Amino acid sequence: MSCDHLICAHCSHPVSEGRCPSCRAVRARMHGDGPSIPPVLVLAALLALLFGALLLQRCAA
Ligand SMILES: [Zn+2]
């Protein structure tokens, strides 16, 4: 995915030019430079939550 055609709402210039902090933030996010959570980690966190809920339920009963 590219941000070449996006126009910044702050500086009214193409985001790809990175003229203001807002542009640079969007550009970094779209190009995957910023921190992102891999889907596998999200799935693992969900499973851990489910497991924890099951354990809690078992302890409460
Ligand atoms: Zn901008």
Residue spans per domain, the chain: 15-60
Q: Which two tokens stand for residue 42?
A: 């999200």
Average of per-residue pLDDT across 37-57 = 90
Q: Using the mean position of ligand 1's atoms as its centre, give its distance from the Cα of residue 29 in Å.
A: 14
Residue 13: which of 27, 30, 34 has the closest Cα? 27
Apex CA 18: angle with CA 16 and CA 24, to 5°?
100
Q: What is the pTM of this model?
A: 0.44
34 pLDDT more than 60: no
Q: Using the mean position of ligand 1's atoms as its centre, give its distance from the Cα of residue 49 in Å.
A: 39
Centroid of chain to Cα 21 = 18
Q: What is d(CA 55, CA 50) in angstroms, rounded to the nearest whole number? A: 9
Q: Using the mean position of ligand 1's atoms as its centre, give its distance from the Cα of residue 53 in Å.
A: 45
29 pLDDT more than 70: yes
- Check residue 27 and give its pLDDT: 85
**Residues linked to residue 14 through DSSP beta bridges, in sequence order:** 7
Q: Using the mean position of ligand 1's atoms as its centre, give its distance from the Cα of residue 56 in Å.
A: 49
Q: What is d(CA 6, CA 1) in angstroms, rounded to the nearest whole number? A: 11
Q: Using the mean position of ligand 1's atoms as its centre, give its distance from the Cα of residue 26 in Å.
A: 9
